Each structure stands twice: as C-alpha cells, then as structure tokens.
Amino acid sequence: MGKVALVTGASGIQGRSVVKKLEASNEWSKVIAVSRSPLDFESKAQRISLDLNDKGGLKSTFNSEKIKDVTHVFHLAFAGDMTNTSRTVAGWLNNLVEELESADNPLEYVFFASGNKYYGVHLAQLPGEPKTPFRETDPRHFPPNFYYDMEDYAIERKKKGAKWNWNTYRPGPIIGYSLGYMNWLMEFAVYATICKEKNLPMRYPGTPQGYRVLFDCADADLLADVQIWLSKNKHAQNTAYNVNNGDVFRFEQLWPKLAEWFGLDVAPPLHIPLTKFMPHHKDLWASIVKKYDLKDIPFEKLVRWDFAEATLNAPSDEFGDATKLRKAGFEGQKMYTEEVFHRWFKELAKMRIIPDYPNLDKKS
C-alpha cells in the first residue's frame, strides 16, 4: 500500500480543503476523513465518525475500521473558544498519534494546525502588542496555549526517536467555508447579505483602530497546498512556518472591495456587538433563504459571531513574516486577499449559502 492519509477535522474549514486536494491527486492510495458529523461535500474518503475526546473510542474504532496503514496524519480538528487554553484539545494530538502507533500504523509524517495566537494576538489589549511582523523564532507568551503543548509534544517525541517527522503552520484568519467557530468569510458574507437586504451601507462593525491595522490571512486551499507540500519535502520538516496569501492589508482598503461585490456602499466604521445584535436577524435570514432558495442552515449554526467581534477590534497590527516558507521552497503565497475573498464569495453563492448577487460576477 502507498501513502495513506488520515485527516481529522475533515468537515472543518481546513480539513475539507485537504481532503479534496488529497483525493484529487493520484499520489494517495487512501484518504481517511475523521469528524463527528458527516461530510457535506462529495468524497470517496473512508469516513470515520470519531469523538477525539473519547480516548477508548479511538482504539476500538481503529480496530473495527481496520486502520492499519496510515502513513500521514493531518490533524486539523478543534473545539473551543478564542482563549487557546484547552488541555483537552492539546491532548487530542498525543492520543491520536499514540493510538495509531499502538495499532502498528507505519507513520511517517504528522501535521497539526496552529495559528497566530501562537504570538498572543488573542491577548493583545493595547496598540503595539504583540510586536509585528511575527517571526517563527519569537519568544512564546506566558502559557497556557495549546499550540505550545502540541509543538512541544512533537519536538519531544522526535528527540526520543519517533520515526515520523512533523510540521505545523501559523496562519492568521483562514478564508474558506465551514460552519465552525472561527470563520471570517461566513461572518462577512452573511453580514453583507443582511446589509443588502436591509438596504444599509456595509459599515465595518469593528473599531476605527481595527479598520486601520495591518492584517494578513490565508486561503484554506492555499493552506491545504502547504500541508501537502510540506509532507513531501523532508528538508522542510520538523519545524513551524508562518503562512499567508502573499499580501498584508488594512480593512480600510479591503472592506470597500468586499462591499462592492454585494453592490453596497460603505460608511465609517462603528463598533457593533455582533454576538448580541446578529441573533435579532434570524427571521430575516429565514426570509432570505426562502426568497433566494438558499440552503436551509439554522441561523445560529450558520455563523458564530465571536471571531469577527474579537478580531475586527484588534488594537494592533496582526501579521507574520512568511519568508521562512518561501526560503524552504514553497512557491504559493502569491495572491491578493481580495481575490481570495471574491473566489470564496462566488463559491458560497454556488453552494447556495448566500444569494448570487449580480456584482459577484465582477472581476476582482
């Protein structure tokens, strides 16, 4: 048997792109997709419904599903909030790897996702913190942070002679489809649609400071390419990388472009407590679903507003220096963020998640 990939979080923003990309390539003899809920996209992957909190369940499921040939793990599962303090989530990686090892899977490579909360963006209160651009060598913040736990686990296992190599990356916000906790694309697309239907300008709902700071972010499809590339390039393994689309931006520049694709004007920013205000528009969303024949996803599942509410008020710049990944030889990271949003807005319209407004067909 050739290379066999096991992807956790397969239904999430990163997992679905990785599963699709692995399946589209003929280099993988099998793809195993792990999540609790079913996949909502076409896939030939072996589906495993597994709760990573249930350690005993891992053993019995691997036995019953005859999981014996896994060579590559792409660990993209996550549950929780913005604090990154969960020891449980950190422990998922250890449990998973150790159960696969104890079932004699010939592991060669383990990837796990991190993000720029490694640098403490979720703790920032004041302009200037944390300092940018983030470099992979920056000192850690005072713990806990489950990214540190996962990375320490990999480093320690490698020191003790693990046969597998590892990588992690540290992107900013990820742009792609999911019904997950952190999703700028869904937050912006649904917010814009509601502004459109209410005939309001698309006002940036964060602080004026957040409108002006520098951000970077990363396309979910690009991140899948990064993972697969790293898994094949031994010289680039056993280390962490910053990664982004290729540019940095201010919402001051990006927001009017996002609004234009919905045929909307913008107005000066005004901080809106999205988690409190958006639930009021549940009935409106139900009528939008009906009017445009959209997929009927309950409004409270469609978008969680916490992520936009936290990030759009950033007191400081949030971007990484992605030179290390370029120096290692990865040739992506050549996109403007507006192109990425535009492609995904069109994809959401195609999926019937948002209306197919005429301006979405305009060029980026």
Ligand X SMILES: NC(=O)c1ccc[n+]([C@@H]2O[C@H](COP(=O)([O-])OP(=O)(O)OC[C@H]3O[C@@H](n4cnc5c(N)ncnc54)[C@H](OP(=O)(O)O)[C@@H]3O)[C@@H](O)[C@H]2O)c1
Please report, as ranges, the residues that interact with ligand X according to CB under 6 A. 9-15, 35-37, 50-53, 76-79, 113, 115, 171, 173-174, 178, 180-183
**Looking up tokens 């906790």, which residue turns up?**
181
User: Least distance to ligand X from the beta carbon of 182, Å?
Assistant: 4
Which is closer to ligand X, CB of 183 or CB of 242? 183
DSSP letter string, 202-258: ----S-HHHHHSEE--EEHHHHHHHHHHHHH-GGG-SEEEEE-SS--EEHHHHHHHH
Which is closer to ligand X, CB of 18 or CB of 294? 18
End-to-end Cα distance, the chain? 44
Could you give the CA distance from residue 361 to residue 356 in angstroms, rounded to a whole number?
Answer: 9
Which is closer to ligand X, CB of 38 or CB of 128? 38
Burial (CB < 10 A; 0-12, 13-18, 19+), residue 274, is: buried
Which is closer to ligand X, CB of 48 or CB of 288? 48
Which is closer to ligand X, CB of 178 or CB of 333? 178
Report which residue type is found at 348. Answer: L
User: Least distance to ligand X from the beta carbon of 88, Å?
Assistant: 9
Could you give the CA distance from residue 28 to residue 22 in angstroms, rounded to a whole number?
Answer: 7
DSSP letter string, 79-140: -S-TT---HHHHHHHHHHHHHHHHTT----EEEEE--GGGGTGGG--STT-S-SSB-TTSPP
> In terms of Cα–Cα distance, which of 196, 190, 194, 223 is closest to 307?
190
Which is closer to ligand X, CB of 2 or CB of 298? 298
User: Least distance to ligand X from the beta carbon of 58, Å?
Assistant: 10
The CB-nearest residue to ligand X is 12
**Own/partner pairs for 183-186, CB < 8 Å, 24+ apart?**
183/13, 183/303, 183/304, 183/307, 184/217, 184/307, 184/308, 184/311, 185/341, 185/344, 185/345, 185/348, 186/302, 186/303, 186/348, 186/353
Which is closer to ligand X, CB of 76 or CB of 195? 76
User: Least distance to ligand X from the beta carbon of 357, Å?
Assistant: 24
Could you give the CA distance from residue 297 to residue 358 in angstroms, rounded to a whole number?
Answer: 23
* φ, ψ of residue 72 in degrees (nearest 5): -130, 130
User: Least distance to ligand X from the beta carbon of 243, Å?
Assistant: 10
User: Least distance to ligand X from the beta carbon of 59, Å?
Assistant: 15
Identify whether the C-beta of residue 291 lies closer than 8 Å to the C-beta of residue 187.
Answer: no
Which is closer to ligand X, CB of 341 or CB of 357? 341
User: Least distance to ligand X from the beta carbon of 287, Å?
Assistant: 28
User: Least distance to ligand X from the beta carbon of 195, Å?
Assistant: 22
Q: Count of CB atoms within 10 A of residue 363's CB?
A: 5
Which is closer to ligand X, CB of 37 or CB of 125? 37
User: Least distance to ligand X from the beta carbon of 215, Å?
Assistant: 12
